Amino acid sequence: MNTPLSKHPETLALHAGWRSDPVTGSTAPPIYQTTSYQFDDTNHAADLFALRKIGNIYTRLTNPTLDILEKRLAVLEGGTAGIVTASGQAASAYAIQNLAVAGDNIVSSTNLYGGTYNLFAHVLKNQGIEVRFVDPADPESFAKATDDRTRAYYAETLPNPKLTVFPIQEVADIGRRFGIPLIVDNTAAPLICRPFDHGAAVVVYSATKYLGGHGTSMGGAIIEGGNFDWGSYPQRQPLLNNPDPSYHGTIWSKAVESLDPIAYALRIRAILLRDLGAVMSPFNAFMILQGIETLPLRMERHCQNAEKIVHFLKTHPSVKRVIYPTLQQGYDLTRAKKYLKGGFGGLVGFELNNGKKAGEKFINSLELLYHVANIGDSRSLAIHPASTTHSQLTPEEQLSTGVNEGYVRLSIGLEHIDDIINDLSQALAKAN
């Protein structure tokens, strides 16, 4: 990894992992749109395949453009290694499949993105991996659901629609008692939350959201914290400690002892990317790198605009309730203040007085905000979950996820605050 030039995210976002091309001098990261790499000779090829030398073999495994993004993400997050994937979904799946096989289980927070919930409750279940869902309000519920075959804990930092911040340190500490790593999906809170500082072992992102930031490119990332000693838990973490028959009997926790702790990331690359193949395209890696250059600036403005929108909505007569981390109470508010620094995110929820009809009317009246299922775009976005993302759920199920018929989710973008407020004002006037 390149020596960081600074500790400041503003500088790292522009410089970590890449300086300039040694041949052409190009300062922008080149897009290496290639599938394969010429070997020097058969010895060189054999060394690369046996991991005796590090180098490029095939883009499903490594690619120089992806490598820049992986290094930049690892440095920005304060981790030791990054892996990028074709989407956030692939990142979540690999993060689990790298530790658990049929007969194993993981314990996950109930507060999850719907796609992750489906992956856990159905796809992983069909693969024989049980996901035990517990309420994160009580961190001890993770300990209670743990048994000998529990391989990981999983949660989102700032899950929507509830926007209650996850107790990262509390659950990471419980996991460390058992040799169980906490994997945190930090998609909604890049830079404003640093899960490794609180003991998380792995961070996952949908790079499709704030990292890319412009709604152009799908991508995912998995970052290893380097703060979890996989080799100390041979019973608990067999995939990283038993000889791997699909890779010359390699024991991943011992594969590169001289380097930073990267056993977890190394196995994802060598096994899951090799055999399941959800690789990011070099072009998307370029686009996401471009996005990350302005991530510190953008996050700051997303948070500032969101706080102003919260203030506006709180005093609006058509609005029954506003949902934002700073408006939570009790331990939810304590956790928001403990884990989010420099802002509380760009996601805002609110509930309209007149239920579903008002929610639909509001969305259909928006002129500036886009009506889309995405979050984390530089443009402001809105959705009415009861008629879209949560429409298959019963009203009771909707309530358990924090949604009711009048709930609207906003992802506040970077437009001038007056323009966002004007659009919300006119749509609210029509909704009631």
Write the CB contacts of 290 (distance below 8 Å, at least 6 apart in sequence).
none
By CB under 6 A, residue 81 contacts ligand PLP:
no
Rounded Cα–Cα distance for residues 174 and 107 (Å): 12
Instruction: Indicate which single residue of 63, 65, 80, 89 sits in contact with ligand PLP (rule: CB under 6 A).
Output: 89
218 binds ligand PLP (CB under 6 A): yes
**Nearest approach, Cβ of residue 416 and ligand PLP (Å):** 26
State the maximum Cα–Cα separation within the chain, in Å, rounded to a whole number: 74
Tokens of 140: 């001890």
Residue (of 194, 189, 190, 191) closest to 172 by Cα position: 194
The two structure tokens encoding residue 195: 């899960």
Cβ(94)–Cβ(100) below 8 Å: no
Nearer to ligand PLP, 59 or 116 (CB): 116
Whole-number Å distance between alpha carbons of 76 and 192: 11
* Prior bond of 395 cis (ω within 30°): no
Under the criterion CB under 6 A, does residue 208 sit at the interface with ligand PLP? Answer: yes
Candidates 67, 77, 170, 185; binder of ligand PLP (CB under 6 A) is: 185
Token couple for 60: 């499903």
Q: How many residues bind ligand PLP (CB under 6 A)?
A: 16
String of contacts with ligand PLP for each residue 359-388, x by CB under 6 A:
----------------x-------------
Give the residue with the Cβ less far from ligand PLP, 187 or 401. 187
* Residue recorded with tokens 């924090």: 402
Stretch that binds ligand PLP, among 74-82, 182-190, 318-326, 338-346 (CB under 6 A): 182-190
Q: Which is nearer to ligand PLP, 87 or 253 (CB)?
A: 87
The answer to whether 349 contacts ligand PLP (rule: CB under 6 A) is no
**Rounded CA separation 60/156 (Å):** 28
Interacting residue with ligand PLP among 4, 30, 115, 234 (CB under 6 A): 115
Q: Near ligand PLP by CB under 6 A, which window of 81-89, 238-246, 341-349, 412-420?
A: 81-89
User: By CB under 6 A, is residue 88 in contact with ligand PLP?
Assistant: yes
d(CA 2, CA 6): 11
For ligand PLP, which residue of 113, 142, 230, 339 counts as binding (CB under 6 A)? 113
- What is the rounded distance in angstroms from the CA atom of residue 380 to the CA atom of residue 410? 7
Residues forming contacts to ligand PLP in the complex (CB under 6 A) are 87-89, 92, 113, 115-116, 156, 185, 187-188, 206, 208, 218, 220, 375
